[in-house]
Amino acid sequence: MGLETSCDDTSVALVNDQREVLACEVLNQDSVHHAFGGIVPEMASRSHTEKLLPALESIMSSTGKSWADVYGIAVTNRPGLMGSLIVGVTTAKALSLFLNKKYIGVHHIEGHIASGFLQDSSYRSPGFFKESFVALVVSGGHTQIYEVRGMAHFQLLSESIDDAAGEVIDKFAKTLGLGFPGGAALDRLGQSGDPNSYVFPTPKVRGRDMDMSFSGLKTAGLRKIESLQSGEGISDPSHLAASFQSTVCDILMDRLQKAVVKTGLRKVVVAGGVSANSVLRERLAHWRNSSGIEVLVPPLRFCTDNAAMIALAGLWRLSRGETSDLNLTVQSRAGLQ
Ligand code: KG4
Ligand code: ZN
């Protein structure tokens, strides 16, 4: 069983030892935070406390499983919003104590990487999780590239030194009037636009050519919208959407390709909410076809935050003999090792 409450999605899932998702409930809180234009941490944790146990009951009854069928419980304990993480971790501790089940704290990014290997009745994933590969995790909170060895060793190769790619996309979308979080809406809008209409910067990090920086791009994007709004007006926002997304993808693809050259690895996993982006998916598909590199991008339902990915990462840790005890704490910031 997986529990995920690190940010603003409440999720519970059951995954079996064939990497198959038996049930996965994801309750987003967009309606709770929408009016504020961003996530309000206190409201996120309160919403998790309201939604988590009903979601848990729902997946147990929909699968017809009993607690005797549950081998162990995996819970995201780092990184994330403190109050939100505490709801999941406290629930996992209580269940483990009361039902005498093993439990394990999982790093949220490790979950995103594991999501590449989830399967269900309509999707089979290649099983290279025991090998070495490069993983890009790109979401509203993270933009990182790792060298992963057998899902047990994670070496950070590249990261954003400031904003996450999804955060910048959301800010740009919000300023264009697409609401929050606006990544998917910006994606749809950009589909009819010309990506070469506007030129945005692709900032470099001095002395760290593998790392990424998105804050300069964010500022340039917002300034462009503001100057158009106060001047000639925005005649067709689809061109802005297409150009901005294309620039974000230029940065991501450049570092991902550098990571592949640096490691010599020929297998890649791309996960996290922004990997739902259609431009990024097209670029990745083109790269796969032209280079022969195996690029695995999970189906959209596994890309965004969900508890199935936490269950799978936790299952692998439990099966290696690792467990957490009741001293497990939550961490708002934590590297993945
Ligand atoms: O992984 P995720 O669900 O949560 C975090 O851990 O952040 O990612 C959410 C992010 C948001 O920034 C959202 O706008 C973005 O993923 N996103 C997209 C798309 N769908 C979701 N960004 C670009 N294109 C999309 N189609
Ligand atoms: Zn995430």
Q: DSSP secondary structure string, 286-322?
A: HHHHHH--EEE---HHHHSS-HHHHHHHHHHHHHTT-
How far apart (Å, rounded) are the C-alpha atoms in residues 80 and 111? 13
Question: pLDDT tens for residues 210-262?
Answer: 999 999 999 999 999 999 999 999 999 999 999 999 999 999 999 999 999 99
How far apart (Å, rounded) are the C-alpha atoms in residues 40 and 37? 9
Q: Which residues surround ligand 2, an ion (CB under 5 A)?
A: 139, 305
How far apart (Å, rounded) are the C-alpha atoms in residues 298 and 119? 9
Q: CB count, 10 Å around CB of 139?
A: 25
Q: By C-alpha distance, which of 236, 261, 116 is closest to 176?
A: 236
Question: How much distance in Å is there from the Cα of 139 to the middle of ligand 2?
Answer: 6
**Pocket lining: 163 vs ligand 1, CB cutoff 6 Å:** no
Q: What is the largest CA-CA distance in the chain?
A: 66
**Closest ligand by atom to 76 CA:** 2
Q: Which two tokens stand for residue 175?
A: 């300023």
Report whether pLDDT(35) > 90: no
Q: pLDDT at position 293, please?
A: 98
**Closest ligand by atom to 166 CA:** 1
Q: pTM, whole model, 2 decimals? A: 0.95
**Pocket lining: 111 vs ligand 1, CB cutoff 6 Å:** no
Kindly list the distances between the CA atom of residue 195 and the CA atoms of 190, 241, 242, in Å, as whole numbers in the listed order.
8, 8, 5
Q: How many CA atoms lie within 13 A of 97 on its CB side?
A: 9
**Pocket lining: 26 vs ligand 1, CB cutoff 6 Å:** no
Question: pLDDT tens for residues 143-189?
Answer: 999 999 999 999 999 999 999 999 999 999 999 999 988 999 999 99
Report whether pLDDT(336) > 90: yes
Q: By C-alpha distance, which of 111, 119, 3, 107 is closest to 55?
A: 3
User: To which H or E segment does residue 228 belong?
Assistant: helix 215-230
What is the bridge-based pairing of β-strands 132-138 and 267-271? parallel
Q: Cβ(93)–Cβ(103) under 8 Å? A: yes
Ligand 1: which atom is nearest the Cα of residue 173?
Answer: 14
Question: How much distance in Å is there from the Cα of 140 to the middle of ligand 1?
Answer: 5
Strand partners, 97: none
Ligand 1: which atom is nearest the Cα of residue 300?
Answer: 20
Report whether pLDDT(29) > 90: no
The C-alpha R_g of the chain, in whole angstroms, comes to 20
Mutational pocket test of ligand 1: of 139, 282, 301, the residue with most ligand atoms within 8 Å of the beta carbon? 139
Q: By C-alpha distance, which of 109, 106, 175, 174 is closest to 139?
A: 109
Question: pLDDT tens for residues 89-142?
Answer: 999 999 999 999 999 999 999 999 999 999 999 999 999 999 999 999 999 999
Q: By C-alpha distance, which of 132, 223, 135, 126 is closest to 171?
A: 223
Kindly list the distances between the CA atom of residue 332 and the CA atoms of 185, 268, 324, in Å, as whole numbers in the listed order.
29, 28, 18
